[in-house]
């Protein structure tokens, strides 16, 4: 059974810092890995999707890497801003139904 | 175009009552998923619909849970004889379908069972 772990569970940083969120998964038979953002009381917003054959994806200040063989991914956020404060969720797609298996998330607080 | 919509946004019910949650996927998306987000449990897969194929119900936690998708579009998740442990946020997602495409999520329905 696929298990996804995210470390740390919570992170508080001052504005302007670069930071890294970590995600690990136990079964490397995945199609892709997605990073999502969830704001309080809201649904999920997809940030980046990395195909299993890719090593990284970039979008603006966000860069996600994937090492499928070791079961790890990182989300790098450059020059953090208070508006980046949210819960960041990592999820892998696998199985015949392409369901997402999620980690429990990292709660990020960026202080002005 | 419009994203995934869900209704109601909040539902409070008494233990033992039945509830229905609705999801309107993005137009043209053939795949639809239901997930549940519980405190301390994280997000868990419940059920998957793809086109006219039989749904994958492997994530449903008990036979009190059922879902249908009419006309390949709108889906309804029904929970019968609700229990307090059913309290959670129920999220619906849709994707273009047929493969591991990006899933787009609705805002969710927060269910509270008293």
The DSSP result for B11-34, as a single string, is EEE-TT--EEEEEEPPTT--EEEE
Which of the residues A37, A43, A57, A87 would you substitute to probe the B interface, choosing the one with the greatest number of B C-beta atoms within 10 Å? A43
pLDDT at A71 over 90: yes
Chain B residues with CB-CB distance to A100 below 8 A: 33, 35, 43, 45, 93, 103
A93 at B interface, C-beta within 8 A:
yes
B25 at A interface, C-beta within 8 A:
no
B-facing residues of A in 43-72 (CB < 8 A) are 43-46, 49
pLDDT at B72 over 80: no
Q: How confident is residue B39, by pLDDT bands cut at 50, 70 and 90?
A: confident
pLDDT at B69 over 90: yes
Which of A34, A100, A105 is facing B45, going by the closest CB pair?
A: A100
B51 at A interface, C-beta within 8 A:
no
Query: What pLDDT, on the 0 to 100 scale, is given for residue B1?
Result: 55
B96: exposed, middle or buried (Cβ count in 10 Å: 0-12, 13-18, 19+): middle
**Cβ within 8 Å, pair B105-A44:** yes
pLDDT in tens, A21-41: 999 999 999 999 999 999 988
Query: In the predicted model, what is the mean pLDDT of chain A?
Result: 94
Q: How confident is residue A42, by pLDDT bands cut at 50, 70 and 90?
A: confident
Query: What pLDDT, on the 0 to 100 scale, is given for residue B99?
Result: 80
**Cβ within 8 Å, pair B56-A97:** yes
Sheet strands side by side (includes A56-59): A4-7, A19-25, A72-77, A62-67, A56-59
**Cβ within 8 Å, pair B100-A31:** yes
pLDDT at A80 over 90: yes
Compare all CA atoms of chain A with the CA of B10 and give the residue at the minimum distance.
A41
Percentage of chain B lying above the pLDDT 70 cut: 98
pLDDT at A98 over 90: no
A14: exposed, middle or buried (Cβ count in 10 Å: 0-12, 13-18, 19+): exposed
CA distance between the termini of chain A: 41
pLDDT in tens, B82-99: 999 999 999 999 999 778
């Amino acid at each position: 059974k696929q298990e996804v772990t995210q470390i740390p569970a919570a992170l508080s940083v001052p504005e302007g810092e670069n930071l890294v969120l970590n995600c690990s998964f136990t079964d490397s038979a995945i199609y892709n890995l997605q990073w999502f953002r969830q704001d309080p009381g809201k649904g999920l917003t997809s940030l980046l999707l990395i195909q299993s054959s890719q090593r990284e994806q970039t979008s603006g200040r966000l860069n996600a890497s994937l090492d499928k063989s070791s079961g790890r991914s990182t989300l790098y956020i450059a020059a953090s801003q208070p508006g980046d404060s949210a819960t960041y969720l990592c999820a892998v797609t696998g199985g015949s139904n392409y369901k997402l298996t999620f980690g429990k998330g990292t709660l990020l607080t960026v202080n002005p | 175009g419009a994203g995934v919509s869900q209704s109601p946004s909040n539902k409070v019910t008494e233990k033992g009552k039945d509830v229905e949650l609705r999801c309107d996927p993005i137009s043209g998306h053939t795949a639809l998923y239901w997930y549940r987000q519980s405190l301390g449990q994280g997000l868990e897969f419940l059920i998957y619909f793809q086109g006219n194929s039989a749904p994958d119900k492997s994530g449903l936690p008990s036979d009190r849970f059922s879902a249908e998708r009419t006309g390949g579009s709108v889906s309804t998740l029904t929970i019968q004889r609700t229990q307090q442990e059913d309290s959670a946020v129920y999220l619906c997602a849709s994707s273009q379908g047929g493969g591991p495409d990006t899933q787009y999520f609705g805002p969710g329905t927060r269910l509270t069972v008293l």
